[in-house]
Amino acid sequence: MSRTIIISNRLPVKISRTAEGELSFRPSEGGLATGLGSIYKEGDNLWIGWPGIHFQDEEEESFVKKELLKENMLPVDLTTEEIKLYYEGFSNETLWPTFHYFNQYALYKKSYWQSYERVNQKFCDAVLAVANPDDTIWVHDYQLLLLPDLIRDKLPHVSIGFFLHIPFPSFEVFRLLPWRRQLLDGVLGADLIGFHTYDDMRHFLSAVSRICFLSNHHGQITKDGRIVEIDAFPMGIDYDKYARSSAAPETLSREVKYRTSLGEVKLMLSIDRLDYSKGIAARLQIFDLFLEKYPQYQGKVSLLMVVVPSRDSVDKYKDLKEEVDLLVGRVNGKYGSVNWTPIHYFYRSFPLEDLSAFYRIADVALVTPMRDGMNLVCKEFVASKLDQKGVLILSEMAGASKELSEAIIVNPNDKHQVRDAIKKALEMSEDEQVKHMEIMQATLKKFNIHHWVELFMQRLDEVNQKQLKMNTKLLDEKIESEMQDSFASSEDRMLFLDYDGTLSPFTGNPQDASPDEELMEILTHLSQIENTRVIVISGRDRHTLEKWLGDLPIEFVAEHGVWMKWNGEGWMLLDSLDASWKNDIRPILDIYVNKTPGSFVEEKDYSLVWHYRKVETGLGELRAREIISHLKYLAVNMNLQVLEGNKVVEIKNLEVNKGKAAARWLEDDMQNTFIMAVGDDWTDEDTFKAMPESAFTIKVGDRRSAARFSVRDHSVVRRILRELGNVNVSQD
């Protein structure tokens, strides 16, 4: 039976050692653990991750493994060095600062990277030891960016989802990473990649387009013949859990206790892990500014600030802790009195009942991160406000701000704006508070954590169905051997081969793609086999094809079918074609060449091609769209077709296409003829469609095609052709 396997850096469990040296297991309270609890605890499903402790010996390791397995968890043991280099190092000192736009804090250390690679491999080994090809795998977060592709390599058809919990930065920041390409290739091993917000998603797509040269269509990328879908799935909270906890008697009694000791002041609340991305220091400076500018609030409002210890072995976090301690001391020293403390500061974590009491008690939640993937604290505050009174001040840099537009949205760098937002929040009428809170609660109730899990899993399943339904089947060994048998046993053989992207890789300059020695050898060899015809069917002009391949005993279709050359005969023109339209269209294309550095026009006998492979990424695509819309009506009137290819826009006569040309080689009875057609772009689709059903039609790259099979790239095509050339054909 197929299973779901969740993988994250940490397992959803807290294991601690008691004073007597015994181990105690407590389930983690995190939102993710709750949300995914409905999945991983079911049947044979599993959660794989680091258990958070170092095993003292093998006996302890096997005991912990056994205990965890009872709860459907499988631990990955990490050494002290791996925690230092992979976790604290690459994850938290390289990726975390870069992804949160603190790239000046990022360390680019080779030893960190190497450990990150090794640990991702370690996680992969743990997955492979238990996973089956029909399982569904869901990988979480920035510590495991390489994992999807590592798994894909060994289980090519398994369904893999990936979710990033932190922001994905703009391409300009992401590109700073020395290992940017490997990181993207790693994550692109997934079938579905999810982000909290649309902005993260578009930053990712832009990085993929610029670094991996893969474009997307409505968030869908095709990589190595596979579909990869990218989308935004804003993560929610376990709404009912927070609402319930807010009404619990234990919470109410703690609220009374805290209210009594705090006195009759208004209360602002902030809760964060200690992190520079959370804007804790700036928040303290803002509170200082607020008390200074509005002295009437001195003695009337306090800030309850919970900072949860985190990553305190990383230098930057130690520095931040010192800075926060200092600022709290300064503000309290400057304004405090015997009966009023401006800031109640706690550097520790609290149980949920306390947290809920804080959420209840607070008049204002001050959530002002410099950058945050989502931020769950603000959502928990809203869910805990059962009487709907309270105001949320929320940084526009938190993913949550995209959903909670009823909050007072601020830019945390604009200290004066936040200072005044505090005043506005404290003075907001109760009616208005309720009005905003109601709308936010309705959103969070619907888009809760269970909804998030369901949406993601459903979508992953849909992508999986899409992969299965794709017309083409990845060419495997079995089909290849069938193909070789058919090649050997047929009386005649016919191979229609596209050139660019099929026999040869794309180059910046089309003229640089001349055949290399290997290709010449393959084609020579094939064309020498008896009763075997090789037809190169290309969009290129006949002069180039003649120059490059004219010495071989092969046949040609040039300019997508304008020109044809049968064995031993001269070039033949397709019917009577008109080329006078070029005089009207060429000047238009020249305008675009003039304003687009790196682009040029290729003029063929019966078509014009605007090339933009060397144009700045993005600009080329923009101009291509401009050209297409510029020529749209003109083309219809002039009986032309405007087609978008691989970094080209081609204009040619409507009646020209590769399929029509290829059909001239085909006869009625071809039962004893082995036919193969290979191509990589839309112009080859016409060839595929023109072929008899039994033909071996092969698409290179993309799997959405009329072809029966697909292969990854031109190097696979070459290997297949080389092996066909070595087959012993029947002599009778």
DSSP per-residue letters across 534-579: EEEE-SS-HHHHHHHHTTSS-EEEEGGGTEEE-TTS-EEE-SS---
Residue 600 engages ligand GDG in binding (rule: CB under 6 A):
no
Residue 232 engages ligand GDG in binding (rule: CB under 6 A):
no
- Taking each helix axis from N to C terminus, what angle separates 449-469 and 31-40, rounded to the nearest 10 degrees? 50
Q: Which residue has the tokens 């039609």?
A: 697
Q: How far is CA 503 from the centre of its chain?
A: 30
Q: How far is the CB of 466 from ligand GDG (least distance, A)?
A: 26
The SS3 assignment for 227 reads strand
Please identify, among the stretches 292-300, 372-380, 430-438, 722-730, the one whose residues bind ligand GDG according to the rule CB under 6 A: 372-380
Cβ within 8 Å of residue 521, ≥6 positions away: none
CB 241 within 8 A of CB 34: yes
Please identify, among the stretches 370-378, 451-459, 690-698, 719-727, the one whose residues bind ligand GDG according to the rule CB under 6 A: 370-378
* CB nearer to ligand GDG: pick between 344 and 712: 344
Residue 353 engages ligand GDG in binding (rule: CB under 6 A):
no
Q: Residues 209, 349, 467, 486: which binds ligand GDG (CB under 6 A)?
A: 349
Q: How far is the CB of 73 from ligand GDG (least distance, A)?
A: 20
Active-site annotation holds for 681: no
d(CA 465, CA 454): 16
Residue 350 engages ligand GDG in binding (rule: CB under 6 A):
yes
Residue 101 engages ligand GDG in binding (rule: CB under 6 A):
no
* CB nearer to ligand GDG: pick between 191 and 372: 372
Please identify, among the stretches 350-358, 415-423, 463-471, 535-543, the one whose residues bind ligand GDG according to the rule CB under 6 A: 350-358
Please identify, among the stretches 61-69, 351-359, 420-428, 541-549, the one whose residues bind ligand GDG according to the rule CB under 6 A: 351-359
Q: Residues 14, 84, 273, 613: which binds ligand GDG (CB under 6 A)?
A: 273
Cα torsion 267, 268, 274, 276 to 10°: value is -150
Distance between the two ends of the chain, CA-based, in angstroms? 50
Name the strand (E) or helix (H) holding 200. Answer: helix 198-211
Phi-psi map region of 722: left, alpha, beta (phi>0 left; psi -120 to 50 alpha): alpha
Q: Which residue has the tokens 């005993």?
A: 553
The catalytically annotated residue of 498, 541, 680, 686 is: 498
Q: Residues 29, 60, 461, 644: which binds ligand GDG (CB under 6 A)?
A: 29
Q: How far is the CB of 324 from ligand GDG (least distance, A)?
A: 15
Q: How far is the CB of 689 from ligand GDG (least distance, A)?
A: 47
CB 537 within 8 A of CB 555: no
Residue 455 engages ligand GDG in binding (rule: CB under 6 A):
no
Please identify, among the stretches 366-374, 402-410, 446-454, 699-707, the one whose residues bind ligand GDG according to the rule CB under 6 A: 366-374
Residue 393 engages ligand GDG in binding (rule: CB under 6 A):
no
Q: Which residue has the tokens 């019917």?
A: 575
CB 360 within 8 A of CB 251: yes
The SS3 assignment for 19 reads coil
* CB nearer to ligand GDG: pick between 380 and 480: 380
Q: Residues 160, 280, 303, 306: which binds ligand GDG (CB under 6 A)?
A: 306
CB 594 within 8 A of CB 581: no
* CB nearer to ligand GDG: pick between 396 and 644: 396
Please identify, among the stretches 52-60, 66-74, 128-136, 344-352, the one whose residues bind ligand GDG according to the rule CB under 6 A: 344-352
Q: Residues 280, 374, 554, 557: which binds ligand GDG (CB under 6 A)?
A: 374
Residue 404 engages ligand GDG in binding (rule: CB under 6 A):
no
d(CA 107, CA 115): 14
Residue 710 engages ligand GDG in binding (rule: CB under 6 A):
no
- Number of amino acids touching ligand GDG (CB under 6 A): 21
Residue 234 engages ligand GDG in binding (rule: CB under 6 A):
no
d(CA 3, CA 667): 51
Cβ within 8 Å of residue 165, ≥6 positions away: 32, 140, 141, 142, 196, 235, 373, 374
* CB nearer to ligand GDG: pick between 198 and 340: 198
- Identify which of 315, 274, 233, 277 has the alpha carbon closest to the alpha carbon of residue 98: 277
137-196 positions binding ligand GDG, by CB under 6 A: 165-166
Residues with catalytic function: 498
Q: Which residues bind ligand GDG (CB under 6 A)?
A: 29, 31, 165-166, 235, 271, 273, 306, 308, 349-352, 355, 372-377, 380
